[in-house]
Amino acid sequence: MNFPGKNLEHGLKKAGLLSFVRELDGNENDSLDNYLRDASMYARVVILSVRGALVRKFMLAAHALGMTKGDWIFLDVEIFQGSYWGDHDWKAGDSEDYKARKAYEALLRVSLLQPTSDKFQDFADKVKERSLRDYNYTISEGEEVNFVIGAFYDGVFLLGMALNETLWEGGDIRDGSDITLKMWNRTFS
């Protein structure tokens, strides 16, 4: 299971909401039918945190087992959009597309929203310029700036705002609770 998947597992266990975990490594020899049969004995919600092609294989296997008629729910946690994670859509342009489309009716995908605003595009352009100027790294034609970079930038900026306020007020910058409170419900541009 990937790192975000482990975090999800830990959180669900801590909340007492997790009854069964079965990890897989994505090996072609793994029988998805067996995974699904095992899961069906313990749960009605199946959380997938895997690459797109494997989501489709799982959903086709679930459909073949009759698990996509409403008794089971499948969650696809799409960590990032990009070539590493692959395409999470049902359509692959093959003879299984019809079945996959039906199977995906039982699937809820949770993913991060890729920013499309002009403001984010301006930020991405600046990242590309600075990558070349400061690090002699050229971002390839068609390669997108990962939006996590923008979120990380915003997080560091927000932390800086909270630290500056704390120092201005004479507070203790080692007080993580106070710093965190200063970061909540803030907007900035």
- This prediction has a pTM of 0.63
pLDDT value for 26: 60
Distance of CA 59 to the CA centre of its chain: 18
Encoded tokens for 62: 């679930």
pLDDT value for 103: 96
What is the CATH topology of the domain spanning 3-111? Rossmann fold (3.40.50)
Contact 90, 99 (CB under 8 A): no
| Cα gap 93→74, rounded to integer Å | 22
- Residues with Cβ < 8 Å from 182, sequence gap 6 or more? 161, 162, 165, 166
pLDDT value for 1: 47
| Cα gap 31→36, rounded to integer Å | 9
pLDDT value for 87: 84
| Cα gap 14→136, rounded to integer Å | 45
Contact 59, 22 (CB under 8 A): no
- The count of C-alpha atoms lying within 13 angstroms of the C-alpha of 13, restricted to the half-sphere facing its C-beta, is 8
- Residues with Cβ < 8 Å from 17, sequence gap 6 or more? none
pLDDT by residue for the chain (189 residues), tens only, comes to 455 567 777 777 777 777 777 777 666 556 888 889 988 888 888 888 888 889 999 999 999 999 999 899 899 988 767 676 788 889 999 999 999 999 999 999 887 777 888 988 898 899 999 999 999 999 888 777 877 788 888 888 899 999 999 999 999 988 888 888 998 888 776
